[in-house]
Chains A and B, each alone.
Chain A
Amino acid sequence: MAKKIKILVVDDETAVAKSIAGALAGKDLAADTAGGGQAALDLDQKNRYPVIITDLMMPGMDGLELLKKIKARRPEALVIMITGFPSVKTAVEAVKLGAFDYIPKPFTPAELRAVVRRALARVSLEGQPQKISGKSLYAIPENTWAKIEDDGNVKIGMHPVFLDTIGHIGEIELPKAGERLAQGEACVKIIDSRERKHRLWCPVGGRVVAVNEKVRYDLKPLVQDPLGQGWLLVIAPDDLESDLKNLVPMED
């Protein structure tokens, strides 16, 4: 029996922590749970978890603080944030601060597992992750990029590293033009070849003004030219200025 990969789940609500742990437990995965930040740090010290799932809002030490401390100690550790809806922006901020991804509550086991699988894939990713750069380019690190166009709209696409973590794309679900999206909300869903659903977070809130319908049928540009032909949608931003604060600038 191969050694199971251990993951740490941190939540002040034991029921949630146990449920998550339960949902993750399987052939190759096992999860420990911690009821707070300090306990998590203690456990991590001992077990050096490759992936830590933590609730963002916790009494005492909150998720962000925990993230900072773990990252300070072990930059290679991947931290997944569990967020309530009001803190989606905080979640994006958390990604900026180094979180691998986040999962908005409530979520299904499938959603949870998809993110964890991606994290594990990222852990085992060899070599330097691909970096992107460009003028007026911003990113939710390793998730999506946002490029401010001359007309003030924002073009959005998938971060190349995201693709690396999901393997093969089976299907892609794009939003409809006219739909409204908030920053941090799921804007594109990607179903990989194992039928896992992955979500790309919208880097900028606003109204969808254009969608690259081509990629629905032809995934090649998405894979080969994720920053160019592989764009996914264009958003007319509501409040670009405040959204940009939560993004990582990718200018040279």
Chain B
Amino acid sequence: MILYDFIDRLRRSLRAKLILTFSALVVLSVALSAAAGIVLLGTAIRRQAQDKVRQDLNGVIEVYQKEGQRIAAAVELIAQGLSAGQLAGGHGRSWERYWREAISEKGLDFVSLTDEAGRVIYRPLNPGARGDRYPNDIARWVQWSKKTVISSERFSQGQLEREGGDLSARARIVTADTSRSAEQGRFHQSDGLMLVAASPVKDDKNRILGIVFGGVLLNGNEELVDRAQRMLYRQERYQGRDLGTVTIFLDDYRIATNVTTAQGKRALGTRVSEQVYRQVMERGSRWVGRAYVLDAWRIAAYEPIRDISGRPIGMLYAGILEAPFVRLRNKVVMVYLAIAVLTVAALVLVVNWASGRIIRPVRELVAATEEIARGNLGYRVPVKGQDEIGQLGDSFNRMSAELKRVTDGYLELNRTLEQKVVQRTKELEAARDSLVQTEKLSSLGRMAAGIAHEINNPLTSIMLNSHLMKEKLPKNSRLHEPLDLIIEETARSSAIVKGMLEFSRQTVSHLRPTDINRALEKTLRLLDSQLMMQKVSVSTDLSEELPQVPADEGKLRQVFTNIILNAGDAMPQGGRLEIATKWDGERRKVRISFADQGSGIPREVLPKIFDPFFSTKGIKGTGLGLAISYGIIKQHGGEIEVQSREGRGTVFTVVLPLERNQI
């Protein structure tokens, strides 16, 4: 699950993909270069180590040869000290002493004298053993060259014993098994490896009289190998061990060495690895390479030691511990790896940073698209740079803005549509209401005209006759009172009829651009005295921005007069009448409001106030004033709105459109 989540996250994260890809590249390239570097370095280090060991081996050979030359010089000196007479003559005390001194002073392990054919005539350490020949060709070489010959020779145990002294015992080395030795076998190495020199004893005529042999046993010869080690490695040590070691082999046995065992003893009697043995001893060629020496890997070089006939009989070895080189190599590798890791880390950081820089705007874009998806239109991303992502951000912002603009447009359109629907519905309702009202009025008008005409005749009769009766009645008649009543009521009927007729005749004539404020002011001036009588104070708030409205000013003033006088009637105790004009630019309508502080119109009465013959004033009113006003304003394409609160007052608002073609 965790792995799945991780992979899933990777799949979702562009940044992770980028980092992974880059990192993979970086790791791959660094790993490759590190591997190459490590291999190259390892090879170089090994080659250098091998070169060094090769040189070391040369040094060892040099030491070996120098030892040979020293022996040769010693033997030569002994040979030169001998005379023909001595060779032929007796063996006095001085003779014996000469030889003993020769052995001890010259640092030789054995000395012998042979005749010119190589037959031993004298062994100072073992005078009894004589007459034998050395089992090698040295004597012949001396005879042939008439010069001193140096050679390394194997001396069998018998030979060693014959030479006398403790040679045989010294040569004896207990062999130890090592894991890589060529063959299991002897428990003792009894042969000796002898560095031998043979020098001729010559007469005046350069004839060889005899040959002096001398040599140094290399078995257990610590002095020689230690000297070489000192010279080459100056006792350098590594982790408690000698760094470099020198060994002399007889066959594959270490007979002189400073290679030590785990116990710290010289590893005498141990054997060389089969691989080395084969190349050096069997093929007779030098071996340089990595070798497991005793118990550690070393960089080692082996050189065959040949006897006079050229047969490999032993080896010289120089070697250094591989460990320091391995350590060096490891160090280098570590450094290399460290550099690689650091490089990778640095690159990953760089990639991380760079991808972050690349990704961040993308993320911001992603976040922005989510914002937009969530409905936050017009959301902007911070745009940096001129690159493709910057351009993307730019076009995103433009898209976002455009989206917002379009959506806002739609929303606005929706809203306006809704508003329009609501407004239109309201207007239609109002239109329907007013149509009903208008219909009521016009049919009533027609009826009124007919009725008026019909009623006028009887009224005329009544009026004429009641007057006539009054004229003819005696002055003190009690009938005067009822007659006056008849006359009065007839007059009232007449007034009603007149009103009805007026109402039926309501037609506005030409509409002219009219200054509503001026019309109001004129109306107020005319009503001044009446309003004063009614204790009505008028305050006006007339808008300066009122446009001229097409209107029949006379009819309009009739309406104003009617409303103002009504307001006065609504405030029998007097009060304030606030008149205001306002320009509703949006609907292109002028609003003229009249707010009184009267008793207000009861709610149930409100819908009837524009009905003809509806009056609250009893016999004082005909109930036609507002109906006529309403008709006039309707003919202007306008409205009269009423808001009333009982006890607070009433506001009549005359609304006049600037253009007629409105509902």
Q: For residues 70 through 94 of chain A, which have their beta carbon under 8 Å from a beta carbon of chain B?
A: 82, 84-86
> How far does the alpha carbon of A64 sit from the alpha carbon of B552 in the complex, in Å?
32
- Flag the segment in B412-420, B454-462, B617-625, B638-646 that touches A: B454-462
**Are A84's CB and B456's CB within 8 A?**
yes
Q: For residues 467 through 522 of chain B, which have their beta carbon under 8 Å from a beta carbon of chain A?
A: 467-468, 471, 490, 494, 497-498, 501-502, 504-505, 509-510, 522
Q: For residues 135 through 194 of chain A, which have their beta carbon under 8 Å from a beta carbon of chain B?
A: 176-178, 180, 182
> How far does the alpha carbon of A106 sit from the alpha carbon of B493 in the complex, in Å?
10
CB-defined contacts of A238 to chain B, threshold 8 Å: 509-510, 552, 554-555
Q: Does A22 contact B (CB under 8 A)?
A: yes
CB-defined contacts of B471 to chain A, threshold 8 Å: 109
Q: Does A37 contact B (CB under 8 A)?
A: no
Interface size class of A (residues with CB under 8 A): 20 to 34
Q: Please report the number of residue pairs spanning A and B whose Cβ atoms sit closer than 8 angstroms.
A: 90
CB-defined contacts of B453 to chain A, threshold 8 Å: 57, 84, 86
**Are A178's CB and B526's CB within 8 A?**
yes
**Are B509's CB and A239's CB within 8 A?**
yes
Q: Does B464 contact A (CB under 8 A)?
A: yes
CB-defined contacts of A239 to chain B, threshold 8 Å: 509-510
Secondary structure dominating the interface of A: mixed
> How far does the alpha carbon of A68 sit from the alpha carbon of B47 in the complex, in Å?
155
Q: Does B523 contact A (CB under 8 A)?
A: yes
B459's nearest neighbour on chain A, judged by CB, is A106
> How far does the alpha carbon of A109 sit from the alpha carbon of B510 in the complex, in Å?
39
> How far does the alpha carbon of A242 sit from the alpha carbon of B501 in the complex, in Å?
19
CB-defined contacts of A19 to chain B, threshold 8 Å: 460-461, 464-465, 468
**Are B558's CB and A180's CB within 8 A?**
yes
Q: Does B216 contact A (CB under 8 A)?
A: no
> How far does the alpha carbon of A176 sit from the alpha carbon of B525 in the complex, in Å?
12
CB-contact partner of A86 in B449, B461, B554, under 8 A: B449
A22's nearest neighbour on chain B, judged by CB, is B468
A42 nearest CB across to chain B (Å): 23
**Are A107's CB and B460's CB within 8 A?**
yes
CB-defined contacts of A110 to chain B, threshold 8 Å: 467
Mask: chain A, 103-132; 1 = CB below 8 Å from B; 0 = not: 001111110100000000000000000000
Q: Does B557 contact A (CB under 8 A)?
A: yes
**Are B464's CB and A22's CB within 8 A?**
yes
**Are A109's CB and B523's CB within 8 A?**
no
Q: For residues 8 through 30 of chain A, which have their beta carbon under 8 Å from a beta carbon of chain B?
A: 11, 13, 15-16, 19-20, 22-23
Q: Does A207 contact B (CB under 8 A)?
A: yes
CB-contact partner of A177 in B461, B494, B501, B526, under 8 A: B526
Mask: chain B, 320-359; 1 = CB below 8 Å from A; 0 = not: 0000000000000000000000000000000000000000
Q: List 6 A-B contacts (CB under 8 A).
A: A15-B457, A109-B464, A176-B526, A238-B510, A238-B555, A239-B509
Which A residues are closer than 8 A to B by beta carbons? Answer: 11, 13, 15-16, 19-20, 22-23, 57, 82, 84-86, 105-110, 112, 176-178, 180, 182, 206-207, 236, 238-239, 242
6 A-B pairs with least C-beta separation:
A178-B526, A239-B509, A106-B459, A207-B554, A105-B456, A106-B460
